[in-house]
Structures are given as C-alpha cells and as structure tokens.
Amino acid sequence: MVRMKDDGTHRLTDLPECWPSLPLESWEDTRATLHMWTQIVGKVRLALTPLVNHWWNVPLYVTARGLTTSSMSYERMLFELEFDFVDHQLVLKKSDGATRKLVLVPRSVADFYKEFMSMLDAEGIHVKIWKMPVEIPNPIAFDQDRAHSSYDPEAARRFWRILASTEAVFNDFRSRFIGKSSPVHFFWGSFDLAVTRFSGRRAPDRPGADRITKEAYSHEVSSVGFWPGSGDVKEPAFYAYASPEPEGFKDYRARPAAASYRKDLNEFLLPFEAVRSAASPTHDLLDFCQTTYEAAATLAKWDRQALEKTPESAATAG
C-alpha cells in the first residue's frame, strides 16, 4: 500500500483557517443562489468551447480569489470570467485590457442573469445559453427565477477557502499517478470539486444513459471530490466512487475511520467536519483519496504498476 508523505505544502493546508466551518444550514439559501449563478457563467464557457473528452471543457477552476472559466476565445478577442470571493464581484477580463465588474450582492437569479448578459453585450460578447438549470430538482429558468436571491459574502468566502485547500490536496494526490487523470475542476452542474483517475480501459455502456452520462463515463474511473451538501447529503462531505463499481467495493475498509459507504449513493462519504477537526486535515483527506482509489483499482484489476509513480520517482520529483 502506498503511504502519503507529508511535505512543506501541508503545513499551509493544515492551518485551521484553511478549513473553516461551513454547516449547510448556515448558508443553504446562498449556496442555492450561487449554484445558479455559477451555472449561468459556466454555460457561457460551454457555449464557446469545443467538446473535450468527459466534458472537460465545462468546469470552472479554483483561483487565488475564487473560481474562473479560464481564457475563452470569441471572435477576435480572448476573455475570462472570474468569481472573486475576496472582493465579492464577478470580473470580466478581456485581452484588449478592458475590465468590467458585477458586484456580488443579494439579488435574484433573474436579475443576475439580466445584468450579467448585459455586461457581456456591452463588451461585444453576444452569446446565447440554454436558460434552464441542470442537475437540480424543480428547475426554474434563469430569467424567471426570483426564488433564489441570497448572498452571504462570508459564507461564499469560506466556501472558496475550502475549495482552495481541497484543490491543493487533490493536486498532491493527482501528482502521484502517471496514467490519465483529470484536472482538479469544479463542475457547476453538480456544484462540486473533483479529480478523476482512469484505468485506460473503456467502460461498458450504461443502460438508459443519456448523452452527457455516456461521455462522462465512457472509461473506467476512480473519482474523489468535495461538495458542500444538498439533497440527501445534509452536510458538506468528501466523496469517492468507482465507475463501473467492482464487486466488493462497498465492503472495502476506507480510511480514516469516519469514512463510510452510502449504499443509497453508491459512494464512500467522509464528513467535512471529521477532516477539518483532525490533527492533520491534509493527512486524513489524502488517506481517504488513496484508500478509496486502492479499493477501485485493486478490485477492478487496474495495472497499478504501470499507472502509479514508484516511491523512488515520487521522492526524486519532490
């Protein structure tokens, strides 16, 4: 079994301020509103970028201040959109040096949609997006949604701080794998941060799967992620799953001890509170990443020798 080494970066991500408390009930309305805002911005990226395997052209990415689309091309320009959760604004940056800002304050999704699209139009960026949200129950078209209108800046800042700390750990975990691996990315549809490893083998077709699911799970994967909670998960948690799930996966003893398998979700869950209160949140989260990956890779008979760095190569790289 591979053991995760600690290094200097972990001294930063183990600081208490890197893992602030964020009970779902304390910001549930803000979370729901922000989910819709990120979908609106994310759909612009979806509309303007070519399809990349497993929809990797879709996600947002963690920055030193929030979440970004990364650079996108439009006619003769490049532009980028960033949610800044430090100064609480959505920033539009263009390659000609122009910058526009939309202040993040309590406002309905409908008003955010209107002002955001007007900001794009004013800078010569004319793009149409599908106005219906995805991956939520009872969706309301963006331009009609006045039910979601909350924004708690401190909660948004804490959420970003957790994403930033989690991304650092996920990138460490990702660096130990030499097979195909996704970037660490934030999916605005499901509102979670994830990193995924691939065995290199195609997966069997999922009966009844739609086009999105077929593309996402065209190959065998082991995935780990973080979401702030919603639906059947009432608190923030880390999750891990294998697709297709090998026999015996649910019975594997994942670490740390607070991790458990949820049969209703077909996933391992590790409560965020258990991580943030640990002596070393980094160590416990890396242990969760590693043991759930080992469950998937060992039981599904991945070629681990070919896919994983040796301890010697990892030490040299460090």
Whether residues 298 and 273 fall in one domain:
yes
- Domain presence at residue 2: no
- Domain presence at residue 198: yes
Whether residues 123 and 248 fall in one domain:
no
Helices and strands counted in the chain (H then E): 9, 12
Mean pLDDT taken over the chain? 93
What is the phi/psi pair of residue 101, to 5°?
-135, 140
Confidence (pLDDT) at 10: 60
Number of domains in the chain: 2
Q: State the DSSP H helix or E strand holding residue 226, giving kind and residue range, or none if neither.
A: strand 219-227
The model's pLDDT over 137-169, given as tens digits with 9 standing for 90+, comes to 999 999 999 999 999 999 999 999 999 999 999
Whether residues 157 and 56 fall in one domain:
no
- Domain presence at residue 206: yes
The model's pLDDT over 64-98, given as tens digits with 9 standing for 90+, comes to 999 999 999 999 999 999 999 999 999 999 999 99
Whether residues 132 and 160 fall in one domain:
no
Residue 318 pLDDT exceeds 60: no
Whether residues 96 and 162 fall in one domain:
no
- Residue 229, CB-side half-sphere exposure with 13 Å CA sphere: 20
Boundaries of domain holding 163: 8-16+153-317
Residue 8 pLDDT exceeds 80: no
Per-residue pLDDT band at 183 (split at 50, 70, 90): very high
Whether residues 112 and 178 fall in one domain:
no
Among the candidates 119, 144, 169, a domain finishes at 144
Confidence (pLDDT) at 315: 44
Among the candidates 90, 124, 144, a domain finishes at 144
Among the candidates 94, 123, 144, a domain finishes at 144
The model's pLDDT over 234-270, given as tens digits with 9 standing for 90+, comes to 999 999 999 999 999 999 999 999 999 999 999 999 9
Whether residues 61 and 130 fall in one domain:
yes
